[in-house]
Structure 1
Amino acid sequence: METIKIIEVQCEYRNHLLGTDLLHPRFSWKMESTERNTRQSAYQLQVTKREDQSFESPLWDTGRMETDQSIQLPYAGSELTPCTSYLFRVRVWDQSGNESDWSAAGQLETGLQRPDAWQAHWITPDTQQIDRESDPIFQLRRSFEIKGEIASARIYATAAGVYELYLNGQPVSEDVLAPGWTSYHHRMQYQTYDVTSLIQPGANAVGAWLGDGWYRGKLGFDDKQYTYGEHRALLMQMLIRYTDGTEEWILTDSSWRASIGPIPYSNIYHGETYDARLEQSGWSSPDFDDHSWHGVETVQLSCEPLISQENWPTRVTETIQPVQYIVTPAGEHVLDMGQNMVGRIRMTLGGAAAGTTITIRHAEVLDKDGNIYYGNLRPARQTVTYIAGGAEQEEYAPHFSFMGFRYIQVSGYPGQETEGLPLDAFVGEVLHSDMPSTGEFECSDERVNQLQRNISWGQRGNFLDVPTDCPQRDERLGWTGDAQVFISTALFNYQGAPFFTKWLHDVQAEQHEDGGIPFVVPDIVGGANSAAWGDAAVICPWTFYQYYGDRQLLAEQYDSMKKWVDYIHSQGEEEFLWNTGFHFGDWLALDASEGSYIGATPTALIATAYYAYSSRLVAEAAQILGKQQEAEQYRRLHEDVVQMFRAEFVTTRGRIAAPTQTAHVLALMFDLVEPEMKLRVAADLNDLIVSNDYHLTTGFVGTPYLCFALSDNGYHQTAVRLLLQESYPGWLYSVSQGATTIWEHWDSLKPDGSFWSDDMNSFNHYSYGAVGDWMYRRIAGLDKQPEQPAYQRIRIEPLFGTRQLTHARAAHESMYGRIESGWKMEEGRMMVQVTVPVNTTADILLHGAQMEQLSESGRSVHEMDGVITVDTEDDAVHITVGSGQYTFSYPADQLFQTSYTPNTRLSELLMDEQAVDVLNRHAPQLVQGSLSSMVSTSSLQQIADNQMTRIPQEKMQQIVAELQLL
């Protein structure tokens, strides 16, 4: 019986890597075992050319390697040749000498590898015949003959613009909006497509549709055109390999033909118009007569920026049926998709007369009167127009645009005025970068589960090739600040390694000579160097490393990380204080002054806090990369910045000079106050929350860390109450208003049905969804150990803290395999279930457990299999285990003898929410079990006397008595 086996192999995060230019791609694998505490002790990896499926003569054979490394193993065989397919497989041995079978083979295929490998020319229609500035899309085609039996066919293609390829009348892939959006002047992706199955004997034809896309479409706040270049152009070469060993290239060159296509207009913001009367049937088939078409001309564009596809492709990942047909008070015919989504509508109709015009407008919400609301779109039209061709059956979805919407207003659909809109004629196609899902979270509160769904939908909608801020208005830009606050939540929920690899390479490409970082990447609007926004250049690579253990990306981004910190260091007259330049500050914080978007927290405090944080991360990155001298240099810089922060923003008695929630949050999260003063700062933060009736006032900077700052400093109950706050402002307020994605503003939709503002009011804006990171790591307790990244060493530490939640569970598909942490209260006992992948260990901290009352799968923890160590730690039992599935059980009432509440009798009294509210307002230190000497007996009696109208006197006197015993 096989005790250990390989369940998945990957190359550069993919099972099938098609078309890479990497010379040393990296391999990873996941294992499972029938035994607990299983570790890899050795592996053997083989790579061979695809035709050698038996691996009899591998190109690279590592032999048996005595190591536990199972992720990010770089290829070290003989040079990989361009345009070549390879297979790879692995087998492993565990610590007991058990050997696995060989894994199923993974696939790796190289691309062109070098810019000078491009033989094709960039082509565009003859500008004497077709105006290069015209709105209609271009159609390009050519025919070719197959001279024998083929073994394989590959297309390598890209465009200055966006393109779709067709071969013999069939699309060559499911990709949408290729080649994606990069910093085109520096980097442009090309795609590799396997088209072997589409080639036919004899005559063949290849064709392309070519639109503006991000390359030369109107983008940004100024509706600029020609952002990157005046010409739309196509570049393609097809490699055909025959079974006799010969090869043939089909290239874009002067032999191609060109025409205007059936899309008179397309734009990322404004939508698309499609005129089916202009279709040319069979235009990409070999027997099509293209004599009436025009010639093409070559365009002098460089191939130097071309790189193989790095990101996941954008694709349709889900389809959604409308849930409701509405006729609004204004007489609009509207379909409700039931979900705020990003993508397009696919429409079918039959028997419509030629020229019938159907218009679809897309919007996110209805106004308080029930009419569709377009105000927050600003100039973006988000409108699709379809002109019927008169066929018996017609079907259409936009090709070169996407919309953010839940509602669509339809006009002109045949019969809608008398019969309404048929729901089955409209389907929502969800578009985003096709990232595999890797995260799960659910708990006993369905409102929080909806919040988690909103977080996931917000990420899907805004991770469309770049991490955009919003998907509906005239913006859709890669804001650096949004990306850095959300990246940890994002990488938990979805496999984002290719996505952020591509985007971070663009961040580095767009970085200014002086080290400054633009507000948005790719940068089309100008503006740079705000704290918390520019810090994405440091925080994102570091977080990426924590999730994937990817030293290569960290090394690639290291110079960019340093340059950003060095840029800050060079600002102003105070080298350790950043108090110059423009900053977004705590953007959209609720404590902002009237008419301002920037919160009340001083921008110099925020800037200096991030200066300290980024310098620390650069020091840690340098240490990991073996750059000891630079690690010490940035450690000293970090220490100097921290000392300056304390001198400038912290009083000698431990008060933060700015009385805002965000100021306290940053001081705690970035370790900017003396350890002995953290209690004071944490208590002050808690008081700011409690005195605001358990509501937050934080914006983009403070919100992601707010609950961490509370939970990690003794105020987990307050953090949970914040999460569960349903009234404005709070995460569940939008849920209570029917939100299906995260809003840009806490009150994007006000309780009276009015809107915050038309100017900046996205209903799909993921930043505040960063609370997910805290939900997964603190409520469910699934966390990493920084010293062993990629979850090689896992920390399982659920914080229970309140009976408002009775169960929670999180799971994550890590580089090593599935990790799970779940707990539930059941019949007076706490049940904690943990799954640990092979080749990892987990430190499990069970708060409120006592060794003698703790069991695992019905046995004493001292008798359990898989245990490495067991001991007690403060109020918890600390168990270190190897791989396997574990179920721990212990009395639930022990939880209330922990630091979360002072003692058992008091905890019973504190089940009264009114009592908790009073005590958190007036004696939060006591409720959290610390600093009890700061509140006198007379003060406690005064609390009781003043609150008799809200809490029965007998109960309040009992609470006071219990507190006096502490």
Structure 2
Amino acid sequence: MKRNLIAAWAVAIVSVCATSALGDTPIGVRNLRCEYKIDPLGIDVRKPRLSWELQSSERGVVQTSYEIRVAASEAELAKGKTIWESGKQSSDASNQVGYGGPALESRKIYHWQVRVADNHGHFSEWSKTAHWEMGLLEPADWKAKWIMPNLAEDESKSNPAPFLRREFSINKKVERARLYATAMGLYEMSLNGKRVGEEYFTPGWTSYDFRYQYQTYDVTNALKSEANCIAAILGDGWFRGRLAWNPKNNRNHYGKKLALLAQLVITYRDGSQQIVTSDDQWKSATGPVLLSDIYDGETYDARLEQPGWNEAGFNEKNWQSVTVMEPSKAKLVASAGPPVKAIEEITPVKVLKTPAGDTVLDMGQNMVGWVRFRVAAPAGTTITLRHAEVLDKAGNLYTENLRAARETIRYTTKGQGIETYQPHFTFQGFRYVAVSGWPGDVKPQDFTGVVVHSAISRTGSFETSNPLLNQLQHNIIWGQKGNFVDVPTDCPQRDERLGWTGDAQVFARTASFNHDTAAFYTKWLKDVALDQEDDGAVPFV
């Protein structure tokens, strides 16, 4: 009897809590998404697909109808001044429900809500408002030009990363500002000395012969009154860096020259606009990034830094001009997949001394990303990090499985107090890091493992009473994170890291159980389709 009373009270408490979370109605709607994303910025799908989740305090609840409304602002949505209303649709569909209103316009923001009914006769309130923002839909929307730095380079090897900059002025109150950017190669944008966005390895790896992704950034709060500076660093990446394992022909797979395409659209409070683009007004130079390659790592000489290079007022008299290129025949498309981000951080669990005499950090977890460190040393001190997944039987760093990939970081200090460093256009697959050239004792607290992968959210879990099975699932999760860096790869460490279609196909069901992979596969499969052979065959990589 006592057990039954306790169970009844538990059910009552859960029901009250669930009802309170939903308000006065027994059903609600949550997790509104557009093209698999929450409030996406800069999409180019002309009839976006909308999704939501039904929320209820009861069991056996099924959606029986839905109603969507879309407006130009939250205020107009509240007033019922809509652009499109679906009307009541008798359907249980709540995933990929297509927008059916008038043609959408470039750069416009659209706000939307949904309400539903269920099989018990309950009706939800209108959901919280969500929104999406359109990118640049037409070629004519692009005023920017592809620009190439005028720098002497040896195309047979990795060259110092180009730095580009341009100053401009604004003299009105800014309502909003958007930056649209892409590159032949990889890019990092900055405005007034601060990095733009949290994404890495932009614009991502696509079939560059056919299309380049561009990213959209909200940079409203990055602008200053009067003088401003927009700047970029370019990296070889997949475009012209080492790719695949043929030592005689593994560079410049898509092209030999790096280039930038950037367009900053500033909307003022009076309704006027100013557009700052990549054009012949930019300047270029090299800096401290002497080498940055996905397979080989990065070489960085902090003594070559030019303080203030990406801020207004910098003296650029020694910088070179840029060349405006002919427009690329490849199509410009908005990013479809989740961005690559720094997702979590790991502190080394211990420092080892190997039989070979190496000082080695043990991260305690096989991971993909890089090591960030801080150091104080005299100018000209070179610190070297070599990465490996395992130690050999003797306890020494094992790197034979890397083949020709170096996975090596070299950092030379400038000798000005504590210096903090992490690489720009490379990532490593590793658990162990051999540190040499370090001034004094190597201490774990001076190093941080930065775990990097596509920002896919966890959706599934699996746990048993068997520790070995649990460890297997743990390894699968980390294996997926390490091999989901913009494309699904076979390995994250050696001179390969390629999108093998067989590997991806075999793992797809498991991947989609563990994480939300919809946007990730949407992006990648478009490139698979573009690279498909005339006879219909899908390339093996």
Whole-angstrom CA distance in 2 between matches of 1:174 and 1:162: 14
Q: Is the 8 A contact 2:77 2:111 kept in 1?
A: no
Q: Is 1:260 aligned to residue 283 of structure 2?
A: no
Matches within 5 A, 1:694-843: none
Alpha-carbon distance in structure 2 between the residues aligned to 1:428 and 1:493:
23
Between structure 1 and structure 2, the one with the greater Rg is: 1
Picking from 237, 240, 245, the partner of 1:216 is 240
Letter in 1 for 2:290: P
Q: State the identity %.
A: 49
Shift of residue 54, structure 1, vs aligned partner: 4.3
CA–CA distance in 1 between the matches of 2:204 and 2:460?
25
Matches within 5 A, 1:198-217: 198-217=222-241
1:526-546 Cα shifts (integer Å, max 9, x gaps): xxxxxxxxxxxxxxxxxxxxx
* Structure-2 residue corresponding to 1:387: 412
Once the 2 structures are TM-superposed, how far is the Cα of residue 132 of structure 1 from its aligned partner? 6.9
**1:839-869 deviation digits (Å, cap 9, x = unpaired):** xxxxxxxxxxxxxxxxxxxxxxxxxxxxxxx
Report the RMSD for the aligned CA atoms in angstroms.
Answer: 1.3
In structure 2, do the counterparts of structure 1 residues 338 and 53 end up closer, same or farther at CA, with 3 Å as the change threshold? farther
Query: SS of 2:463's equivalent?
Result: strand
| Contact in 2 for aligned 1:347/1:396 (Cα 8 Å) | yes
Q: Which of the two has greater helix per residue?
A: 1
Q: Does 1:451 pair with 2:475?
A: no
**What amino acid is the match of 1:42?**
S
User: CA-to-partner distance for each residue in 1:91-131, whole Å, 9 max, x for gaps?
Assistant: 1122233221221111201100123322111111125xx33
Distance (whole Å) between structure 2 residues aligned to residue 30 and residue 132 of structure 1: 54
Match of 2:346 among 302, 310, 320: 320
Correspondence for 1:289 among 315, 331, 337: 315
Deviation at 1:51, TM superposition (A): 6.1
What amino acid maps onto 1:43 in structure 2? Y
Which of 124, 131, 154 is matched with 2:153 structurally?
A: 131
Residue 135 of structure 2 aligns with an amino acid whose one-letter code is: G
Contact 2:70 2:77 in 1 (8 A): no
Deviations 1:240-293 (CA, angstroms, capped at 9, x unpaired): 000111111110000001110210001110000011111111111112121221
How far residue 356 of structure 1 moved from its aligned partner, in angstroms, is 0.6
8 Å CA contact retained: 1:116, 1:303: no
Q: Which residue of 2 aligns with 1:472?
A: 493
1:160 aligns with 2:176: no
- Structure 1 residue corresponding to 2:102, chosen from 74, 78, 84: 78
Question: What is the aligned counterpart of 2:435 among 404, 410, 414?
Answer: 410
The 10-residue stretch of structure 1 (55-64 or 271-280) with the greater mean CA deviation from structure 2: 55-64
- Which amino acid in the other structure matches residue 93 of structure 2? Q
Report what 1:430 is aligned to: 451
- Please give the alpha-carbon distance, in whole angstroms, between the structure 2 residues aligned to 1:75 and 1:429: 39
Separation (CA, whole Å) in 2 of partners of 1:342 and 1:308: 26
Contact 1:152–1:242 (8 Å) recurs in 2:
yes
Tell me, in whole angstroms, the C-alpha distance in 2 between the residues paired with 1:378 and 1:402: 16
Of 485, 504, 509, 2:525 maps to 504
Structure 2 SS opposite 1:440: coil
Per-residue CA deviation, residues 417-453 of structure 1 (Å, 9 max, x unaligned), is xxx3110111000111111111111011111111101
Supply the distance in 1 between the matched residues of 2:530 and 2:44 (Cα, whole angstroms).
18
Contact 1:118–1:303 (8 Å) recurs in 2 = no
Q: Is the contact between residue 53 and residue 87 of structure 1 (CA under 8 Å) also seen in structure 2?
A: no
2:274 pairs with 228, 248, 254, which one?
248
**Any residues of structure 2 matched to 1:167-566 within 5 Å, and which?**
167-223=191-247, 224-302=250-328, 304-350=330-376, 352-415=377-440, 420-520=441-541
The 2-side partners of 1:86 and 1:55 are apart by: 13
| Corresponding residue SS for 1:441 | coil
Alignment pair present for 1:50 and 2:73: yes
Q: Give distance in 2, aligned partners of 1:77 and 1:122.
A: 35
Contact 2:76 2:82 (8 Å CA) reproduced: no
Matching of residue 60 in structure 1 with residue 84 in structure 2: yes
Say if 2:208 and 2:330, in contact at 8 Å, map to a contact too. Answer: no
**1:32 maps to 2:58:** no
Distance 1:32 1:517 in 2: 41
Q: Does structure 1 conserve the Cα–Cα contact (< 8 Å) formed by 2:403 and 2:495?
A: yes
- 1:149 and 1:243 in contact (8 A); partners too: yes
Deviations 1:493-525 (A, max 9, x none): 1111111111111111111112222110xxxxx
Q: Secondary structure at the match of 2:238?
A: helix
**Cα pair distance change 1:172/1:447, threshold 3 Å:** same
Aligned partners of 1:431, 1:3: CA distance in 2, in Å?
A: 41
Name the amino acid aligned to 2:73.
Answer: R
- The answer for the alignment partner of 1:643 in structure 2 is none
Partner Cα separation in structure 2 for residue 164 and residue 111 of structure 1:
20
Tell me, what secondary structure is at the counterpart of 1:197?
helix
The one-letter amino acid of 2:245's match is: F
Q: Deviations over 1:684-737 (max 9, x none)?
A: xxxxxxxxxxxxxxxxxxxxxxxxxxxxxxxxxxxxxxxxxxxxxxxxxxxxxx
DSSP-derived class of the 2:183 partner: strand
Change (3 A) 1:91 1:470: same
Q: Alpha-carbon deviations, 1:343-387, whole Å to 9, x = none? A: 00001112x111110000000000111111111110100000000
Aligned pairs, number: 513
Q: How does the TM-score come out when normalised to structure 2?
A: 0.93
Q: CA shift at 1:199, angstroms?
A: 1.1
- Structure 1 stretches of 4+ moved >4 Å: none
What is residue 860 of structure 1 aligned with on the other side?
none
Instruction: Give a deviation string over 1:772-819, Cα, whole Å, max 9, x none.
Output: xxxxxxxxxxxxxxxxxxxxxxxxxxxxxxxxxxxxxxxxxxxxxxxx
Q: What is the alpha-carbon distance in structure 2 between the residues aligned to residue 34 and residue 491 of structure 1? A: 27
Letter in 2 for 1:131: E
Aligned 8 A contact 1:148 1:201 in 2: yes
Q: Secondary structure at the match of 1:439?
A: coil
What's the counterpart of residue 960 of structure 1?
A: none
How has the CA–CA distance of structure 1 residues 302 and 50 changed in structure 2, closer, same or farther, with 3 Å as cutoff?
A: farther
> SS at 1:191's partner residue?
strand
Matches of 2:89 and 2:339, distance apart in 1: 35
- Alignment match of 1:41 (pick from 54, 64, 69): 64
**Rounded Cα–Cα distance in structure 2 between residues aligned with 1:269 and 1:28:** 39
Shift of 1:470: 0.5
Label 1:53 to 1:258 Cα distance change in 2 as closer, same or farther (>3 A). farther
Q: TM-score, normalised by structure 1?
A: 0.52
Cα distance in 2, alignment partners of residues 5 and 252 from structure 1: 47
Q: Secondary structure of 2:509's partner?
A: helix
Asked if structure 2 preserves the Cα contact closer than 8 Å seen for 1:209 and 1:261, the reply is no
User: Residue 413 of structure 1: SS of its match in structure 2?
Assistant: coil
Alignment partner, residue 19 of structure 2: none
Higher RCO structure, 1 or 2 (CA under 8 Å, sep 6+): 2
Corresponding residue for residue 87 of structure 1:
111
Q: More strand per residue: 1 or 2?
A: 2
Query: What letter is aligned with 1:497?
Result: A
Structure 1 spans left out of the alignment, 5+ residues: 521-966
Bigger drift between 481-490 and 505-514 goes to 505-514
In the TM superposition, residue 70 of structure 1 has moved relative to its aligned partner by 1.4
Partner of residue 13, structure 2: none
Distance (Å, rounded) in 1 between the aligned partners of 2:325 and 2:370: 32
Distance in 2 between the 1:132 and 1:284 partners?
A: 26
CA spacing shift, 1:132–1:195, aligned 2, 3 Å: farther
Residue identity in the other structure for 1:238:
L
Secondary structure at the counterpart of residue 384 of structure 2: strand
